[in-house]
Amino acid sequence: MENDTVSRNFIEQIIDKDLAEGHCETVHTRFPPEPNGYLHIGHAKSILLNYGLAQEYGGLFNMRFDDTNPTKEKAEFVESIKADIKWLGADWEDRLYFASDYFGQMYEAAVKLIKKGKAYVSDLSAEQMREYRGTLTEAGKDDPSRERSVEENLRFFEEMKDGKYQDGEKVLRAKIDMASPNMNMRDPVIYRVAHMTHQNTGDTWCIYPMYDFAHPIEDAIEGITHSICTLEFEDHRPLYDWVVRELEYEKPPKQIEFAKLYLTNVVTGKRYIKKLVEDGIVDGWDDPRLVSIAALRRRGFTPESIKMFVELCGISKSNSSVDYAMLEYCIREDLKLKRARVMAVLDPIKVIIDNYPEDETEYFEVTNNMENEALGTRKVPFTRELYIDREDFMEEPPKKYFRMFPGNEVRLMHAYFVKCESFIKDENGRVVEIHCTYDPASKGGNSPDGRKVKGTIHWVSAKYAKKATVRLYENIVDEELGVYNEDGSLNLNPNSLTVLDQCYVEPSLEKAEAYDSFQFVRQGYFCVDAKDSTPEAMVFNRIVSLKSSYKLPSVQ
């Protein structure tokens, strides 16, 4: 039992206490994104935390779109967010909600505050409101409209709803304390006029609640017990508590803040990604160079790898940054025992085995993953003409180069020993063809006379290989120079995408479908691109290379 309590994070400890003291009988959480862009890796932490807590305590998890700002929200983002959350495995069952579903109740809540003398309609412009608000060291000044009668405020607020006023002409403010040391409590705006078509409610409303007013009401209506959010909302918690208290909800939700997930040298800001998309630098919010959840999925990351990453990051109250290499470590760990290890040639050079029969095809039975026999075997065709990677041949090799060069014998993986006899160059001096002889007695890659070879290289049959395009990715920003330039623009890496369009892969990959992934021997892990790949023209994205710069911290 002692070990059960040691590893519990601070949120679990709060929930344990709330359950013990009767603050709630069950645990009810939610994930409430605003549909103004695609979700990124940081959101995955919040999704998995909220869903995980509901699962851990046998409670409920809601999916809710905080769509209170029609100026930035789109149905496209709603659908992408739903797809991301389902992919991560967070199941909201039948509890899919929109903040806009509660606009009627929010309006009535605002009316209730006006009747209690806790809200008033203001005529100040945004600029005037900033002047009246004061500073961190000086108290604010009362709004000239602060002492309007309840009757006046009710009439003005109804006229706001009925479309009598232009955007910005009037707002509804909470009446709290203009001298509060917390700027969020200095009579914050809770409703504004916005003549905008809403992605969910159309033109029904021309006034919209502010997030800080809407969010606690949404939580209370849905019976949320613990409103888990990130640290920037810590200073907003007194306003959250004020709203649910003044609206007299019987079982008010409790807001708890945790530290965001920051990844080093990545772009997560929606305005930056939007500009990358609009400028055509990336091919959409799901471009595999980004860290949106859709981009990570398209690149070939798995839900399991994201969960492992979030667990390694942990839950705390202190902001910190995590190296992207840790995310790469997690996908390698997840895939290494789950995926077949196949042969692919990314920079092909033809090899002709002169003493092998011209029309013959042999099939070698190859284990899919030497570390996991449960993945079974496959048959790989071998023919007289093959492709190998150009880096596996050198005309004049340096010392300790054990791959193919004139006079040297190497092992063709799973197949035979072959010896390089000669090669042919084109008019530019580039090697275009290598001629070899093979030893028929070395079938399976072993010599009966016990002779050893130091080099083993992969290959594909020229006759049966499937042509493919392979995309190699680097960080979209220059890691050495930093993410941002002095003017705030992104410091882009010109080598973030390399496209190899003359590659060949084993025929066993011919029926691979979108998101299927494999280990290409010596090259890394690759995934079938979900957007551009077709059975006739396959496209593979490199998920991650085989080598890792990340070392898992040792447990003390």
Check residue 407 and give left, alpha or beta (phi > 0: left; psi -120 to 50: alpha): left
Mean pLDDT over all residues of the chain? 93
Strands across the sheet containing 456-457: 456-457, 409-412, 417-425, 431-439, 348-353, 385-389, 460-461
Q: Say if residue 42's pLDDT is above 60.
A: yes
Of 201, 228, 206, 195, nearest to 100 by C-alpha is 201
The confidence band for 556, taking pLDDT boundaries of 50, 70 and 90, is very low
Report pLDDT for 549: 67
> Following DSSP, what letter does each residue of 165-229 receive, concatenated?
S-TTT-EEEE-S-TT-SSGGGSS-EEEEE----BTTTBTS-SEEE-HHHHHHHHHHHHT-SEEEE
Model confidence pLDDT, tens digit, residues 20-30: 999 899 999 99
The confidence band for 3, taking pLDDT boundaries of 50, 70 and 90, is very low
Q: Say if residue 5's pLDDT is above 50.
A: no
Report pLDDT for 326: 93
Report pLDDT for 70: 86
Radius of gyration in angstroms for the set of CA atoms belonging to the chain, rounded to a whole number = 31
Q: Say if residue 268's pLDDT is above 90.
A: no
Model confidence pLDDT, tens digit, residues 430-483: 999 999 999 999 998 787 788 889 999 999 999 999 999 999 999 999 877 777
Model confidence pLDDT, tens digit, residues 304-334: 999 999 999 999 998 888 989 999 999 999 9
Average pLDDT, integer, range 280-293? 94
Strands (E), 323-416: 341-342, 344-345, 348-353, 362-367, 377-382, 385-389, 409-412
CATH of domain 9-98+210-262: 3.40.50.620
Q: Let me know if 300 is exposed, middle or buried by CB neighbors in 10 A (0-12, 13-18, 19+).
A: buried
Q: Say if residue 148's pLDDT is above 90.
A: yes
Report pLDDT for 485: 78
Report pLDDT for 4: 46
CA-CA distance, 542 to 315, in Å (whole number)? Answer: 30
Of 508, 407, 405, nearest to 457 by C-alpha is 405
Of 307, 303, 126, 110, nearest to 190 by C-alpha is 110
Of 204, 172, 176, nearest to 191 by C-alpha is 172
In terms of CATH architecture, what is 103-207? Alpha-Beta Complex (3.90)
Helix (H, G, I), strand (E, B) or coil at 374: helix
Report pLDDT for 321: 87
- Higher model confidence: residue 172 or residue 488? 172
CA-CA distance, 105 to 213, in Å (whole number)? Answer: 12
Chain region(s) in the chain for CATH 1.10.1160.10:
270-335
Average pLDDT, integer, range 187-215? 94
10 Å Cβ neighbour count for 329?
A: 21
Percent of the chain with pLDDT over 70: 97
Chain region(s) in the chain for CATH 3.90.800.10:
103-207
CATH of domain 344-458: 2.40.240.10
Phi/psi of residue 167, nearest 5 degrees: -55, 130
Model confidence pLDDT, tens digit, residues 371-414: 999 999 999 999 999 999 999 999 999 998 999 999 999 999 99
DSSP secondary-structure letter at 82?
H
Chain region(s) in the chain for CATH 3.40.50.620:
9-98+210-262
Phi/psi of residue 183, nearest 5 degrees: -60, -30
Q: For strand 96-98 and strand 119-122, is the pairing parallel, antiparallel, or unpaired?
A: unpaired
Q: Say if residue 555's pLDDT is above 50.
A: no
Q: Say if residue 141's pLDDT is above 90.
A: yes
Yes or no: say if 92 and 222 are a contact pair by the CB < 8 Å rule: no
The CATH class that applies to domain 467-544 reads mainly beta
Q: Which fold does the domain 270-335 belong to in CATH?
A: Glutamyl-tRNA Synthetase; domain 2 (1.10.1160)
Report pLDDT for 40: 93
CA-CA distance, 146 to 142, in Å (whole number)? Answer: 7
The confidence band for 233, taking pLDDT boundaries of 50, 70 and 90, is very high
Beta bridge partners of 365: 379
Chain region(s) in the chain for CATH 2.40.240.10:
344-458, 467-544
Average pLDDT, integer, range 235-246? 97
Of 343, 337, 333, 339, nearest to 521 by C-alpha is 343
Percent of the chain with pLDDT over 90: 84
pTM score, two decimals?
Answer: 0.90
Average pLDDT, integer, range 100-118? 97
CA-CA distance, 96 to 247, in Å (whole number)? Answer: 24
